[in-house]
A and B are shown apart, each in its own frame.
Chain A
Amino acid sequence: DGGITQSPKYLFRKEGQNVTLSCEQNLNHDAMYWYRQDPGQGLRLIYYSQIVNDFQKGDIAEGYSVSREKKESFPLTVTSAQKNPTAFYLCASSIVAGVSNEQFFGPGTRLTVL
């Protein structure tokens, strides 16, 4: 089955720790995205990548980092510099960024800071 997988489903972080969220897709999509969702707010874009080895900051990139070494994978690291990281994180992909193709989402990772 083609799709997007995210792991883990739930993640707990202590203050001062970096954590990495995994996102993998087998849809052969070029573009991948990371969003953050907080209660009562829309999805906010953290980072996106249109092609391997290239990525751009979204609206709320501070305290986050990404890499895109393979077309299928786009991991997100939440660093200790992110002051309020507790949220629901969503990964998405689309055929090509910038062309109005629909984005398809993974099941999400819920991150909680202890």
Chain B
Amino acid sequence: EDQVTQSPEALRLQEGESSSLNCSYTVSGLRGLFWYRQDPGKGPEFLFTLYSAGEEKEKERLKATLTKKESFLHITAPKPEDSATYLCAVHQQGAQKLVFGQGTRLTINP
């Protein structure tokens, strides 16, 4: 069965302390991998799409990378406003839907 697993479930960092979130997937034929940010009580906000191994995308303090089995969301020198749940989702070739991971809840302490 296709699976998307995110780790860790929760991560607490100090402001300025860089780290990475992981999204590992087991699908045959990746069509695209998506990262979203979700604030409490709100809908997910689109961040990045990655299509092939080796691809990287950056936005402010966030950088997403992709290998054949996993994606990393690197956060550099985070600020408290980066606190949120980060979701990844994969789109398999031939499928009509995205499969979402359970998310990583990130807290940045000032």
Contacts and interface: CB of A to CB of B under 8 A. Distances in A.
A107 B96 contact: no
A43 B51 contact: no
A6 B42 CA distance: 11
Contact of A43 (B42, B87, B91): B87
Contact of A48 (B42, B49, B97): B97
B63 to A, nearest CB: 18
Interface residues of A, number: 28
10 contacts: A43-B89, A90-B43, A90-B44, A97-B96, A100-B31, A100-B32, A100-B91, A102-B49, A103-B34, A107-B42
Interface of B: 4, 31-32, 34, 36, 41-46, 49, 51, 87, 89, 91, 95-103
Interface of A: 4, 6, 33, 40-45, 48, 50, 56, 58-59, 88, 90, 92, 97-98, 100, 102-108, 110
